[in-house]
Amino acid sequence: MKEHTTHLIKRRYIMMGIVVFLAVVAVIASYNFTITPTAYFGGKYNHDMLYFLIVYKFIELPTLYYLLFHRHVAHIRDNASYEDRFDKIKKNTKLLLFLIPQGNTIFGIIAFKLTGNILYFLMFSCIALITLFLVKPNKLFKYI
């Protein structure tokens, strides 16, 4: 489990680096290209859709955290044995550390396209960084 935990810590830092890299690329692209906001329904609902994306993300991230990480930590804390669920723990924790940057990047691109403002992409990038910072893979090893 210790080997898996150290792998997850490395993976978390790599994902943080990817999020920062994509944010820098987005800032450079926004200075070089002009993105016009979408005109679906006359652009009337763009900010409503943006607010929905933000609220959805704040509901989705704790749900993903619970389903893919916290319930395994609770199982390890309550039961001394983790070998029976190790493959599932390994798969779910890797998936969590992939889905956080991937989902926030996609939502950031959608928000950027809806508004034409790079700050919304950067906001979703910051949400991803904060979430990756708050997920502590050491909790898996702590209770063994």
pTM of the model: 0.88
pLDDT-derived band at 110 (thresholds 50, 70, 90) equals very high
CA distance 1 to 143: 11
Sequence-distant (6+) residues with CB within 8 A of 52 are none
Look at residue 103 in the predicted model and tell me its pLDDT: 94
Are 1 and 137 contacting, i.e. CB atoms less than 8 angstroms apart? no
37/111: higher pLDDT? 111
Q: Residue 141 CA to chain centroid, in angstroms? A: 22
pLDDT digits (tens, 9 = 90+) for 49-71: 999 999 999 999 999 999 988 88
Are 3 and 137 contacting, i.e. CB atoms less than 8 angstroms apart? no
Q: Give residue limits of the domains in the chain.
A: 2-142
Burial class (CB in 10 A: 0-12, 13-18, 19+), 131: buried
pLDDT digits (tens, 9 = 90+) for 63-102: 999 998 888 888 777 876 667 778 888 888 899 999 999 9
